[in-house]
């Protein structure tokens, strides 16, 4: 089973994440994509705005009814931040018959050399890199051993970020169609990002 892992803060999940996952699924022939929200680091100034349960709730709302997508809360069961390399080691132990691909946007492609224990991680998973406005998805500047573990997949550029959605909400602006309707309903119901 080929399994894509889409890690992120998902604060909130938006159309860019969903399209990236779908492009990766189809182009790389993945059987499933698992959306994996990151844990909330305690007392950090850049900690997510919404608590973990709501970030997971929004992911679940966004992917409901898509049989290829599921939510993987493994990083939320730990206190504080997790390193991707440790999470993937755990997932490989839990699911030894699966091959994992780690899906990332172009901003993360460029940042890969700075990931903790990146060579250990690159030995466990392959990366799928997708275009994102403002960043180059080109792997040419990566060290050779990393370059060969990134598969670049085309995607219509979607100029949406969670930061933009939080800002718009806090200014009372509509985020309809930037997030799926079910996510918008969840945000409104729980009065998220109003300030
Ligand atoms: P924030 O603005 O809070 O950083 P974000 O929109 O970047 O939020 P993240 O949760 O940080 O979302 O991203 C999770 C993953 O999704 C990352 O690999 C990121 O590169 C990718 N991603 C996010 N938005 C897009 C987009 N519009 N197009 C392609 N990839 C994206
Ligand atoms: Mg981001």
* Inside any domain, residue 29: yes
CA dihedral (156, 102, 33, 46) positive or negative? negative
* Inside any domain, residue 195: no
Residue range(s) defining the domain that contains residue 67:
2-160
Tell me, what's the pLDDT at 77?
A: 84
Number of domains in the chain: 1
CA of 8 to the centre of ligand 1 (A): 7
In testing the pocket of ligand 1, which one of 4, 6, 15, 17 has its CB within 8 Å of the most ligand atoms? 17
What ligand 1 atom has the least distance to the C-alpha of 163?
A: 2
* Inside any domain, residue 179: no
CA of 105 to the centre of ligand 1 (A): 6
34, 41, 85, 128 from 111: Cα distances, Å: 22, 20, 15, 14
What's the token pair of residue 57?
Answer: 């709730």
Please give the Cα distance from 173 to 150 (Å, whole number): 37
Q: What is the pLDDT along the chain (195 residues), one digit of tens a residue?
A: 999 999 999 999 999 999 999 999 999 999 999 999 999 866 677 889 999 999 999 999 999 999 999 999 999 988 767 899 999 999 999 999 999 999 999 999 999 999 999 999 999 999 999 999 999 888 999 999 899 999 999 999 999 999 999 999 999 999 999 999 999 999 999 999 998
Q: What is the DSSP letter of 156?
A: -
CA of 12 to the centre of ligand 1 (A): 10
The radius of gyration computed from the CA coordinates of the chain, to the nearest angstrom, equals 16
* Inside any domain, residue 187: no
Could you tell me the CATH number of the domain that includes residue 74?
Answer: 3.40.50.620
Residue 109, exposed/middle/buried by CB under 10 A (0-12, 13-18, 19+)? buried
Please give the Cα distance from 154 to 44 (Å, whole number): 35
Please give the Cα distance from 149 to 154 (Å, whole number): 16
In testing the pocket of ligand 1, which one of 52, 56, 105 has its CB within 8 Å of the most ligand atoms? 105
pTM, two decimals, is 0.96
Please give the Cα distance from 32 to 80 (Å, whole number): 27
* Inside any domain, residue 41: yes
* Inside any domain, residue 186: no
* Inside any domain, residue 45: yes
Contact 13, 58 (CB under 8 A): yes
This model of the complex carries an ipTM of: 0.99
Please give the Cα distance from 39 to 74 (Å, whole number): 9
Contacts of 12 (CB under 8 A, 6+ apart): 50, 55, 58, 162, 165, 166, 179, 183, 187, 192, 193
Q: What is the DSSP letter of 38?
A: P
Please give the Cα distance from 120 to 134 (Å, whole number): 29
Q: Which residues line ligand 1 (CB under 6 A)?
A: 8-11, 16-17, 20, 104-105, 107-108, 130, 132, 158, 160-163
């Amino acid at each position: 089973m080929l399994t894509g892992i889409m890690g992120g803060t998902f604060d909130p999940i938006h159309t860019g994440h969903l399209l990236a996952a779908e492009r990766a699924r189809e182009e790389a022939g993945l059987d499933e994509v698992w959306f994996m929200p990151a844990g909330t680091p305690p007392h950090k100034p850049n900690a997510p705005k919404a608590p973990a349960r709501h970030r997971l709730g929004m992911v679940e709302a966004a992917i409901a009814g898509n049989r290829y997508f599921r939510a993987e809360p493994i990083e939320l069961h730990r206190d504080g931040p997790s390193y991707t390399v440790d999470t993937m080691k755990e997932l490989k132990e839990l699911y030894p018959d699966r091959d994992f691909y780690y899906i990332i946007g172009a901003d993360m492609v460029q940042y890969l050399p700075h990931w903790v224990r990146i060579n250990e991680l690159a030995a466990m998973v392959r990366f799928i890199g997708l275009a994102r406005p403002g960043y180059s998805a080109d792997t040419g500047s990566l060290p050779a051993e990393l370059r060969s573990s990134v598969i670049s997949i085309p995607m219509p550029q979607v100029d949406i970020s969670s930061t933009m959605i939080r800002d718009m909400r806090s200014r009372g602006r509509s985020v309809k169609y930037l997030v799926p309707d079910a996510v918008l309903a969840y945000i409104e119901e729980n009065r998220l990002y109003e300030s």
